[in-house]
Structure 1
């Protein structure tokens, strides 16, 4: 269906979302940009005859002139999604101020790669599923809703909490930081110290801090504190647990220390946030 939004005519139905199911998934829409979210089970991605390994849990932004295919293990489970985006859709004013569409990502000669921060994956999956659902309906204002969801998808991908790099098989520091962030996600309720995570990664505190600083521009402790604040805020806003229960579940030694930590990092006491 062709539609006119913001004075720009485009065919929203040429936007397509496909799951990565087969042993080989290749470019099926050569006139479109492709955003490939590769999850577990994928072995490699081949781009312009160059094979890249260790590609799981990453998002790749590929322009129409890229010849690509994704190779996966012979399983029937999905190994991710491919979002095909027509050029005319990306020209819509909705996206004009986004960093992601400014030459640097979708128009770059290099191939951008993003490792999503743990926890963001569920949001990205929900956005793609809602977009796909809307594409199959004739609901009123569906075009506006699809553009809004696509905009939200880009905002999440361009978030500072994610790890951005250029695709290579040798980006060891980015890979290390991703492992650190994943370990935080899995162990944050028990361990709040950088020393613990450095030890599990078999590196020194200093080296871990150097890697995080180089890749994300912050120190390692910042990522731990950021995750604690995010979880605390979510529980305070969307659960019926008491402040005391939330503090203990997040690994704080006392309710007072939890309140001190939360106010220090947000400027707001837990009790104030709960009332807002």
Structure 2
């Protein structure tokens, strides 16, 4: 397998970095890339055709759209069409600050913010920028970041039902355990409900059964590994829990309609179409 890997971005000098989308250099966002840190993106302004690509899927974005990119996710957007803020957190800092909203440790696809959250978030971004420039009051910075995350997540949570919140938490649990636990019973026991009930909620919220969500996560990991090109197809199969490469090959083609080589070729461009 050719090593045609997507570049990985790292935090250069600290556990946190704040920057404006419009002030970033070309290498920061342009082209498919991934991070070894968490990234919260607040698009304050978006163009008519603005999209963000996350894990090989395209999502429309509007003014005041927010998303969370997790370590390892593949992302891309054309920064010339958008304005906004990017908050980059080390894994340790993000997990510390997000302890009360652990569901979002699995990331968050683009969501629109409510009007009530915008003004406090604008004020907090100014304060965060000031503290980053000062470089000497990190405890105060953490307080501002915690407040910012509370406002941002509360804005999103306001629009969610209990079932949606439960499925967000399910996504986080699947993220942690999908390699070793592929059976629905494990996840149902986590929520102390029956497998049938969890499937009903999952179908209602996501349009997919729990098994399909697990399959979707396995398939995503397969796509990442195939594109990154660091493991052989056989090694990917074993990593994902398949007994042999031939079985994994049939699984991948049945889910995508493509062979691994065809998929790699289809995603060889690092630009949004």
- TM-score of the two chains, using structure 2 as the length reference: 0.46
Larger fraction in helix: 2
Higher strand content, 1 or 2 = 1
- Normalised by the length of structure 1, the TM-score is 0.46
